[in-house]
Each structure stands twice: as structure tokens, then as C-alpha cells.
Amino acid sequence: DQQVKQNSPSLSVQEGRISILNCDYTNSMFDYFLWYKKYPAEGPTFLISISSIKDKNEDGRFTVFLNKSAKHLSLHIVPSQPGDSAVYFCAAIQAGTALIFGKGTTLSVSS
């Protein structure tokens, strides 16, 4: 049973436009949510996180929104750049446990 779900395997966006990556979760006990980015032949790298007590966190072009009532979070990238093309993993953690990852969404940004 997947606790963290990324239902869109892929997303294509034009350079300069907004990219919106979505993630749903089932465990209401999750304390933190994180986004990781992964390029081919490399390990995932941390991108941005949000605490369950917040509804928004912003870092430059990246903003994560959390809707606890809907058990939904999203990552917005504005403006999208070709270098943003990668696999994006949503992850969540409950205190005392390990990170649980979604299956990932492959973002392709065309110039």
C-alpha cells in the first residue's frame, strides 16, 4: 500500500512556463515532506522541504504547497529551465521512522 503517491509519471513544460508536480499521501501522521531531484546516473539530491504545520515554503524558483485536509502537496517551479529536467521524488517522514518515497515524476523542460 503506497503511502506516498505521485500519479503522474511524466510532465512536459516549455522553458519559462510553470511546472507543477503533484503528490498525495495517506498517512496523516507525516511530520515533514520533502522533494528530491534526480539526474540520470546520479543519486537524488535534496530540493526543498515543508513542515506539516506550514502550508507553503519558498526557495528561489521552487515553492512547495501543502494542503493537509486534502493530503496533497505540490511543487511549483517558476520559471522552468531546461536544467530542471530530471526525475522529482516526493518523500514524507513520520517522527522516528525513515523517509518514504513516491515513484517519481519525470519533468522535461523544452527550450
Partner 1 sequence: NAGVTQTPKFRILKIGQSMTLQCTQDMNHNYMYWYRQDPGMGLKLIYYSVGAGITDKGEVPNGYNVSRSTTEDFPLRLELAAPSQTSVYFCASSFTGLGANVLTFGAGSRLTVL
Residues at the site binding partner 1, with contacts judged by CB under 8 A:
4, 6, 9, 31-32, 34, 41-46, 49, 51, 89, 93, 95-96, 98-104
Give me the least distance between CB of 70 and partner 1, in Å please.
Answer: 21
Report the alpha-carbon distance of residue 111 to residue 97 in Å, rounded. 41
By C-beta, is 32 or 65 nearer to partner 1?
A: 32
Decide: helix, strand or coil at residue 82.
helix
By C-beta, is 42 or 83 nearer to partner 1?
A: 42
Give me the least distance between CB of 96 and partner 1, in Å please.
Answer: 7
